[in-house]
Structure 1
Amino acid sequence: MQENLEDDEFDERLVFSDEATFHTNGNVNRHNVRIWGEENPHATVEHERDSPKVNVFCAISKNHLHGPFFFEGNVTDDVYLQMLQKWLMDELIANEHEDFVFQQDEAPPYWKLTVRAYLNENLPGRWIGRAGDEDNVLLKWPPRSPDLTPCDLFHWGYVKGLVFVPVFLQT
């Protein structure tokens, strides 16, 4: 990936993608937040089981934000594949560089054979993600790697900051 990013034209082609969960009760899902310190902070997080939520997908390139796309219910491989087929590919073809490169992380729905077969057929050698030896992928997403994409480093934090304004800041 680093070698590709040294190519001045690669960043023009790259489209990062990710989804986030928004709980309707106001709880903010901070699944990528880690607490580092010399001592155990004894931090606890309470979870409400099966709280109502909305799953949202976005893709970001150097020049365009694609989305939001709202999923009804949980994001499964079938639901994700339908989103790719019925919305995202048309969106990317219409608005991106003609030989764009699509990135997805290692979320379980992305790893399913049906999703990978679709990407192999429609974006041969132009997708980045968790892949098997038989996949026609540009780059394999490293196992257990952190999400270090613009979606996680900026976009979702910014959007959740707008959506979940603390009560004491509301006027």
Structure 2
Amino acid sequence: MCSVRSDTFIITIHLPTNKSILKWYNDFIPRGCICDQRKGHFICPAVSEEVVDKVRDAFVRSPKKSTRRCSQELKLPQSTVCKVLHKRLRFTPYRLQLVQKLYPKDKEMRFEFCHSLQESMENDPGLLSKIIFSDEATFHLNGKVNRHNVRIWGTQYPHANLEFDSDSPKVNVFCAVTERSVYGPFFFEGPSITGQTYLEMLQNWLLPRLQAAEGDGYIFQQDGAPPHWSLNVHAFLNTNLPNRWIGCAGQHDQVFCKWPGSPDLTVCDFFFWGYVKDKVYIPPLPKTIDELRERVTEALRAITPDMLQKVLMELDYRLDICRATRGAHIKCL
């Protein structure tokens, strides 16, 4: 160790020991590099083009293959497979993203909706805090598609389908979300939601709660699900919330603005239900409908106002992205 004195401070320099110099020499002779392999800064030259080709062929044949499975098949260390995928092949492990097909007209409607809503937000900075986002979701006893643990290796984003059993016991749940709180859950009776049962929920459960907590300044949002298209539902909203509701509406409906039928723009779709289902389907999975309902209720209690405020900030960002892409899907990889 030696010290170098300057006008204002002293710099201490630790000289390498003989042991360190010998280690660097022994690393450099066989590999031509003294980088620490454990930190991922070095790709061993021993990985031949033949090995790279084998890894490429393995994932071209089966993009959903795990790195562990590939290492077992090719008799290679898993770390070598990962380095070849990332560094040599430039493959990316894409997560599954479920989206609905968009037609040119759908993109135009999405763009117009985002443009109209952001214009209204400029005139009323507190507009997002007034919107009540709502949606229904189905919870099955057999669990859900675990997109978090599914990866598809490739150089471009894939389009894949996953199947699951839709005939298992289930519950249909309705919730409404604001900047401050969550209204719900409301559990529908019966295997499906009809326009009549949805209307009864609005009349007897949701609107009385909104009126008591939010007053007359809120704006109610619903998507384009079949029960929402009921003429009785539209008549009820036109009478009780004239120009204060957002939805897939007809020419004579009194709406604040028309909803474009987009699953990646509503708070419930891009955050709320995904968060709730991640909480509900933690192993061991629920075994009865009553247990499933209890888990849904507990998951909703875990949502805090701070989380909801951050989600609304994400919505504003998504409106920007949708406008910039002229209504295309918002991909969150």
TM-score (norm 2): 0.45
Deviation at 1:88, TM superposition (A): 0.3
Letter paired with 1:4 = S
- Give the structure 2 partner of residue 87 of structure 1: 205
Render the CA deviation track for 1:62-111: whole Å, top value 9, x for unaligned: 11211111111211111100100110000110111422100001111101
Gaps of 5+ in 1: none
TM-score (norm 1): 0.84
Letter paired with 1:109 = P
Is 1:23–1:29's contact at 8 Å kept on the other side of the alignment?
no
Gaps of 5+ in 2: 1-116, 286-333
Identity %: 56
Deviation at 1:40, TM superposition (A): 4.8
Return closer, same or farther for 1:40/1:10 CA change in 2, 3 Å cut-off: closer
Return closer, same or farther for 1:137/1:37 CA change in 2, 3 Å cut-off: farther
Is 2:121–2:127's contact at 8 Å kept on the other side of the alignment?
yes
CA distance in structure 1 between the partners assigned to 2:250 and 2:274 by the alignment:
31
Aligned residues: 162
Deviation at 1:17, TM superposition (A): 0.5
Is 1:19–1:55's contact at 8 Å kept on the other side of the alignment?
yes
Return closer, same or farther for 1:87/1:29 CA change in 2, 3 Å cut-off: farther
CA distance in structure 2 between the partners assigned to 1:97 and 1:9 by the alignment:
15
Render the CA deviation track for 1:132-161: whole Å, top value 9, x for unaligned: 01111110112x433412211211111111
Q: Decide which of 209, 229, 232 is 1:111's aligned counterpart.
A: 229
CA distance in structure 2 between the partners assigned to 1:106 and 1:29 by the alignment:
26
Is 2:145–2:164's contact at 8 Å kept on the other side of the alignment?
no
Larger radius of gyration: 2
Once the two structures are superposed, the pairs formed by residues 91-102 of structure 1 within 5 Å of their partners are 91-102=209-220
**Counting helix residues as a fraction of each chain, which structure ranks higher?**
2
Q: Secondary structure at the match of 1:18?
A: strand
Is 2:172–2:193's contact at 8 Å kept on the other side of the alignment?
yes
Q: Secondary structure at the match of 2:138?
A: strand
Computed over aligned residues only, the root mean square deviation of the Cα atoms, in angstroms, reads 2.4
> Which gives a bigger RCO, structure 1 or 2 (Cα 8 Å, sep 6+)?
1
Is 1:19–1:58's contact at 8 Å kept on the other side of the alignment?
yes
Deviation at 1:49, TM superposition (A): 4.3
Return closer, same or farther for 1:59/1:117 CA change in 2, 3 Å cut-off: same
Matched, 1:71 2:188: yes
